[in-house]
Copies of this chain bind each other. A is one copy, B any other.
Amino acid sequence: MPCTPQVLATVDAYWRAANYLSVGQMYLRDNPLLRRPLRPTDLKPTLLGHWGTVPGQTFIYTHLNRAIVAHDLDVLYVSGPGHGGQAMVACAYLEGTYSEVYPAIGQDEEGLRRLFTQYSYPGGIPSHVSPECPGSIHEGGELGYSLSHSFGAAFDNPDLIVACVIGDGEAETGPLATSWHGNKFLNPITDGAVLPILHLNGYKIANPTLLARISEQELHDLLRGYGYMPYFVEGHDPDTMHRKMADTLDLVIHQIRDVQQYARAHNDPSRPPWPMIVLRTPKGWTGPVTVDGKPSTGSFRAHQVPIQVEPARYDQLEHLEGWLRSYRPQDLFDRSGRLRPELAELAPTGTRRMSANPHANGGRLLKPLRIPDYREYGVAVPTPGGVRAADTHVLGAFLRDIVRENEAARNFRIFAPDELLSNRLSPVFEVTERQWMLRREMHDEHLAPDGRVVEMLSEHQCQGWLEGYLLTGRHGLFTSYEAFIHIVDSMVSQHAKWLKVTAELIWRAPIASLNYLLASHVWQQAHNGFTHQDPGFIDHVVNKKASVVRVYLPPDANCLLSVWDHCQRSMHYINVVVAGKYQAPQWLTIDQAADHCARGIGVWPWASCSPDVEPDLIMACCGDVPTRETLAAVSILRTALPELKVRVINVVDLMKLQSPSVHPHGLPDDVFDDLFTTDKPIIFAFHGYPFLIHRLCYRRTNHANLHVHGYREEGTITTPFDMTVLNEIDRFHLVRNALKRLPDRGEAGDELDLHMTEKLIQHRRHIRTHGVDMPEIRNWSWTSVAQPTTL
């Protein structure tokens, strides 16, 4: 039954109220109800904000409010267009949520004055739907991720509808362009619905938008091609548009319900024809038609503050006042400044309010993950280096059981860009599948309509889905090749910023950490070549606020288990874990690993000189391959120079290196000095770019004696060991550099130096001739001084 003209009149009044508050936020710091004519002193001294997207968003929000009440819906609102945050703030205020969260901003004239003043003002709130805005899980400062976030939020929330407003500017970005395909992964039985609302207002900052200027036929084809049934709501006359929008919303809600009811009644998870809405309205709709003789509404000039009021110009002040009064505030708010009750009734109440939807404060919904004891998955390591294992494959069994333990709770997912198997996590597929709604063929493997793994060849999608999933109170991880995680550098920055700000808001509960498992790392891409070799994501992440970032480089499988257990339990961090996927020597027992990872850094006594003596040399390492090469170098040194006292330090938690004043994990200076000495040479083999270690350690006492080997941007298709040689992080180069730093290496040292050079020449010849590494490299295993190697 279509809604009545009376209801639509209420919708219109409510919309006018939201628009009035939105304009007020841009301009006013006093006289919020226009009880007297506007004076220059009523205006903020600097007018900052964006108007163009606002009236379309308030229109959508208001209509959703009506629909939520009419159909008893659970709706999460995601505002994609960026800026125009005052629209959602206004709606949250009208619903009362804003005053509940921020009691200083009450439902009266003084509250309105404060609401207006704080917007885009020093000490106030940003112009986006930032973390400060109740109801938001998506800030929109950087465009392109709204739809990925929405699908992430909808996974495993079968009763939720995520209404995602997509700006036509945002729609031009790559991440948004591929995120439409999220519908190929959404299960209509077990997941919720995403309702994309493509808002065509025609312009970006200074340019028209593509999707607003292609033909209606092309746009229709495009959206059909993406797998949606688009419904068009187009126009500018409010009355006509209210009718169209209300009818269309009723229609699409019915369609979503039908689709879900059918799927659930028939247990048929086939991908349904999900509906979507295309809303075409003028940019800055209801704003000033022209400003200073130039068109404003309906043009790019409506993007920011349409009338830049200068105090000296009375006509501009009048123009602004006319605009504000066009919303008839006296009809909308009572004498005290409160929204009239007959209007307030339009909105839902309690947690049905989109601004108070519990999913938008996901930490509140978060249930701890059931995590089995990671020690039970440990590799038996009778002697250091005595067995080999593939680290991520061992982790795979642990992840498999995390999946199994939480299957019923449906709150854990793994996202990957078609790299889960390549990263050796196959044990996961013993208990679950990849969720996939498209046609399956006979020879496919591990595809099902329901599964805990979601794979699409788009790092942007994986990141956006996981963020949406975590922000709505669930757990998960993203596994990727190390080099290509740079693709989401900017998304990580934005998520780190979100975490930093939300940590400072008491009403926002902490969410689960965003966990990266980066396998197929730089030292394991000898077969894929130079393009696949880049360890710089760590560098990017450590620039983020220290309170939210953690970086771990476990040297073996047991350490990886311990680190992962910690990360998966942790809250409100970005955890980056870099791990190996190939068979490699294992160093620590599970108990040793637990202890070592709890410390994050430590001496490996079985590889070091007696703890009672002062070492001559520190050999430090961080990362699996650098650890192997360091131990190989140590075995060479011990054999050739048995008198030399070497201490081996392994770093798991990279942040231990930084000063405690900079990062909470940082080792106190005296502990650092005890470990690294204050005057002995340190040869440090590091997984990534060597400068990072200097950047972290430059304040330490012994920094002048620190010599770091790492990735030097050298590589191609070659052998695994040759990758280390090309970057001089191999055992032979490590030994040579150690010898160079020893004050008195003696004749034996000179001989060893020469021998190392010979070895490097042998290596080069051997791989050219045979295409594989020398047997002594392939068959190398750690031996203590008691069992000298034959070098």
Interchain CB contact (< 8 A) of A177 among B45, B178, B540, B544: B178
Instruction: Tell me, rounded to whole Å, the shortest Cβ–Cβ distance linking A10 to chain B.
Output: 34
Do A527 and B48 have beta carbons less than 8 Å apart?
yes
Do B531 and A142 have beta carbons less than 8 Å apart?
yes
In the docked arrangement, what's the CA distance between A179 and B218, Å? 16
Do B128 and A418 have beta carbons less than 8 Å apart?
no
In the docked arrangement, what's the CA distance between A299 and B534, Å? 30
Within 8 Å CB of A125, what residues of B?
717
Question: If the complex has contacts A447-B208, A695-B695, are A456 and B172 also in contact, measured as CB distance less than 8 A?
Answer: yes
CB-nearest residue of chain B to A418 = B204
Do B173 and A458 have beta carbons less than 8 Å apart?
yes
Do B698 and A421 have beta carbons less than 8 Å apart?
no
Instruction: Tell me, rounded to whole Å, the shortest Cβ–Cβ distance linking A132 to chain B.
Output: 9
In the docked arrangement, what's the CA distance between A127 and B718, Å? 11
Within 8 A of B (CB), among A520-563: 527-532, 534, 536, 539-540, 543-545
Instruction: Tell me, rounded to whole Å, the shortest Cβ–Cβ distance linking A120 to chain B.
Output: 5
Within 8 Å CB of A419, what residues of B?
205
Within 8 Å CB of A224, what residues of B?
218, 221-222, 225
A460 in contact (CB, < 8 A): yes
Do B484 and A142 have beta carbons less than 8 Å apart?
yes
Instruction: Tell me, rounded to whole Å, the shortest Cβ–Cβ distance linking A146 to chain B.
Output: 13
Within 8 Å CB of A456, what residues of B?
172, 210
A36 in contact (CB, < 8 A): no
Do B174 and A178 have beta carbons less than 8 Å apart?
yes
CB-nearest residue of chain B to A225 = B222
In the docked arrangement, what's the CA distance between A600 and B473, Å? 51
Do A531 and B174 have beta carbons less than 8 Å apart?
no
**Chain A window 165-188, contacts with chain B (Cβ cutoff 8 Å), 1 for yes, 0 for no:** 000011011111111010010000
A214 in contact (CB, < 8 A): yes
**Chain A window 659-697, contacts with chain B (Cβ cutoff 8 Å), 1 for yes, 0 for no:** 000000000000000000000000000000101101100
Question: If the complex has contacts A169-B418, A691-B695, are A45 and B489 also in contact, measured as CB distance less than 8 A?
Answer: no
In the docked arrangement, what's the CA distance between A127 and B439, Å? 32
CB-nearest residue of chain B to A490 = B486
Do B529 and A130 have beta carbons less than 8 Å apart?
yes
Interface stretch (choices A62-70, A349-357, A648-656, A768-776) = A768-776
Instruction: List 21 A–B pairs whose Cβ atoms lie within 8 Å, in order of A's numbering.
Output: A29-B771, A83-B528, A122-B718, A141-B528, A141-B532, A174-B174, A174-B178, A174-B460, A174-B461, A205-B422, A206-B445, A207-B457, A209-B457, A214-B227, A214-B438, A222-B222, A299-B443, A487-B490, A494-B531, A540-B540, A698-B698
